[in-house]
Amino acid sequence: MGRGKIEIKRIENTTTRQVTFSKRRSGLIKKTHELSVLCDAQIGLIVFSSTGKLFQYCTEPLRMEQIIEKYERATGTRIVERDHPREEILHDIAMLRQETVRLELGIQRYLGEDMNCLQYEDLTKLEQELENSVAKVRNRQNELLQQQMENLRRKERILEEENGNLSNWENRAMLELQKATVEASKPSVQVMDHFPFFEEQPAGSILQLASPVLPHLHPYLQLALPNIQDSIRGPQP
């Protein structure tokens, strides 16, 4: 299966274009050399990359200048060397100096220096430019202040949420502690719960009813039981 036909157009991807240029340039120079050797042809090849880098091939033992001269004689044309004459160079230098002086004067005027030569119209224009510059600076300052305020508000909301969560946790902890304290303060055995009708019974009956329960009470209550019974019976004759 042969290779697919490639559409001839500019490659948009920079890396792919550079790789393709390198491969095809090498192939072009190789084919040029083969043509020069096989056919005894005098060939001069000049290639510039998209970055301006020069690549060339010339049939040995000739030089590129000899190939170009032979081309000029064959076509009757002449490739003129385009060097800037001295006058043109001096003119460019003078233009650059004038531009430099103009920029320096503009900087001095913006700083409020060397304004004696300015007319009223020039001063008005300069004032308007400075006001526009100040307005842009203030707008930028306001933008930065707004951003800082938004950041501070965001941090404040985060701190408030954290404080609320901490308060809720403390409240829950206090409730748990109070509940545990109340539970711990309750007696383990309620004695009177076993005597719901003690008000209607005599004391002896109450002790008789309590006798099955008292062994399960505290040892100090068991020791006091005989004395309680004696006090209820009264003195013996």
Across the 237 residues of the chain, what is the mean pLDDT of every consecutive 10-residue run?
72 87 92 92 90 89 88 80 68 87 81 76 84 90 92 92 89 86 67 48 49 46 47 50
pLDDT value at position 187? 59
Q: What angle do CA 81, 87, 88 make, to 5 degrees?
A: 65
pLDDT value at position 126? 82
Q: What angle do CA 43, 44, 46 make, to 5 degrees?
A: 145
pLDDT value at position 83? 54
- Are the C-beta atoms of 18 and 28 separated by less than 8 Å? no
pLDDT value at position 236? 52
From the list 34, 45, 39, 42, the residue with the least C-alpha distance to 70 is 42
From the list 104, 138, 141, 111, the residue with the least C-alpha distance to 126 is 111
pLDDT value at position 118? 75
- Grouping H, G, I as helix, E, B as strand and the rest as coil, residue 57 is strand
Radius of gyration of the chain (CA): 55
Q: Give residues with Cβ within 8 angstroms of 201, minimum separation 6.
A: 195, 209
